[in-house]
Structure 1
Amino acid sequence: MARIIGVDIPNDKRLEISLTYIFGVGRKTALDVCRDLNLDPGMKARDLNEIQVTEIANHLQKNYNVEGELRRTLAQAISRLRDIGCYRGLRHRRSLPVRGQRTRTNARSRKGPKKTVAGKKSVKK
């Protein structure tokens, strides 16, 4: 397995797909990298030699925010929203959907498993 920027990319997949295993690299970025370095996007990742692997790593680090740097940037942006106390920051703090989605139903992936609350007991006369 080739290791690029601390990520093992799969050998058996096409290069354009293998590069998407790096955080911050999608299909378009992977195709752009292949085009810039004159690599065939259809070649298997196992066919890369060491020189090509280092070229890919250097190109990604120089031209794109990927892996640790991108994660750090996102975490700083979210913590800034929390610190200034804006609406989006409050939603992040409470682990609720941030972009205006409804929460009466759905939003389970963001809110977590259901927490059942006991309902009102009826009063008998």
Structure 2
Amino acid sequence: MARIAGVNIPQNKLVHIGLTYIYGIGNKFSSQICTSLEIPKAKRINELTDEDILKIREYIDANFKVEGDLRRDYSLTIKRLIDLACYRGSRHRKKLPVRGQRTRCNARTRKGKAIAIAGKKLTPLKK
């Protein structure tokens, strides 16, 4: 298995697909890496030479922020917003949608499982 940026990339994948297994590299950046290093996209990971893997590894280290560094930056940005006590930070702290979505309904993903309210009993309809 090729190990790039601390991630084991499956052998049977195409190069531009395999690179997307690295956190922070999507389709756009994987295509950019392949074109800049002149590696054909149709090539598979197990067909790469050690020199090619080394070139990919060095290119990613030089040009991209991936895996742990990117995750750390992301969490520090959220922590900074919370410490500033700005609107976005307060939404993060309350675990509510941050980007203006409505919360009266359709916010279950962010808010979590619905909690029953005590004292609310449904009375059957009288006929």
Specify if TM > 0.5.
Answer: yes
Count of aligned pairs: 122
The CA deviation at 1:104 is: 1.5
Question: What are the within-5 Å matches in structure 2 for residues 1-125 of structure 1?
Answer: 1-120=1-120
Deviation at 1:119, TM superposition (A): 4.6
**What is the root-mean-square deviation of aligned Cα atoms in Å?**
1.5
Percent pairwise identity: 48
**SS of 1:25's equivalent?**
coil
Give ranges in structure 1 of 5+ residues lacking alignment: none
* Structure 2 CA distance for aligned equivalents of residues 11 and 105 of structure 1: 44
Distance 2:9 2:63 in 1: 19
Distance between the aligned counterparts of 2:121 and 2:92, measured in 1? 34
d(CA) in 2 for partners of 1:96, 1:35: 41
Query: Shift of residue 11 of structure 1?
Result: 1.6
Supply the AA of the counterpart residue of 1:65.
K
Q: What residue ranges of structure 2 are gaps of 5+ in the alignment? A: 123-127
Q: Which amino acid aligns with 2:110?
A: R
Which AA in structure 1 matches 2:23? F
Cα offset for 1:121? Answer: 5.6
User: What TM-score do the two structures reach when normalised by structure 2?
Assistant: 0.89
